């Protein structure tokens, strides 16, 4: 059975959230959508708020999933994160880190997951 693009993305986000939780991150929210952008997973690891972009691709052509996060995409993520911090004052005292979780073979029984911590910063 082949998944369409939206289903593949949802499957990858589910796998990523499970992976993060299994590795000690507390999942706070998923699919935070605002006009300025979307945050796939918002999690907490100690005193750090994790803004996690989940990427998946069916091919490693063009540099793979992690390479697909260009400057425009990073800016949209940062703007959405700024909105989140303005709306959720409870996050104000936390450090913010931008991570990427790459899920390969999300449509199979044996997906692989790579968690890239500090993938980019708000200044990038």
What residue segments make up the domains of the chain, in order of their start?
A: 5-120
Could you tell me the pLDDT band of residue 34, with boundaries at 50, 70 and 90?
confident
**Residue 30 phi, psi dihedral angles, 5° rounding:** -130, 150
Q: Give CA separation, 61 vs 12, 31, 58, 65, 119, in Å.
A: 18, 27, 9, 9, 20
Domain 5-120 sits in CATH at 3.40.1350.10
CA distance 119 to 117: 5
* Closest to 10 measured CA to CA, from 103, 119, 117: 103
Strands 112-120 and 26-34: unpaired
* Closest to 77 measured CA to CA, from 51, 44, 103, 42: 51
pLDDT digits (tens, 9 = 90+) for 93-110: 899 999 999 998 888 888
**Residue 67 phi, psi dihedral angles, 5° rounding:** -70, -15
Strands 26-34 and 37-45: antiparallel
pLDDT digits (tens, 9 = 90+) for 38-80: 999 999 999 999 999 999 866 555 566 666 788 899 999 999 9
The residue count for the chain: 124
């Amino acid at each position: 059975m082949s998944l369409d693009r939206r289903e593949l993305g949802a499957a990858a986000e589910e796998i990523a959230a499970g992976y993060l939780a299994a590795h000690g991150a507390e999942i706070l929210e998923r699919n935070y959508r605002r006009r300025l952008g979307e945050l796939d997973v918002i999690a907490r690891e100690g005193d750090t708020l994790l803004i996690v972009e989940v990427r998946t691709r069916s091919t490693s052509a063009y540099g793979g999933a992690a390479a697909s996060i260009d400057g425009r995409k990073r800016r949209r993520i940062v703007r959405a994160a700024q909105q989140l911090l303005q709306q959720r004052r409870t996050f104000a005292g936390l450090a913010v880190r931008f991570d990427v979780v790459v899920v390969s073979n999300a449509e199979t029984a044996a997906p692989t997951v790579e968690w890239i911590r500090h993938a980019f910063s708000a200044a990038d």
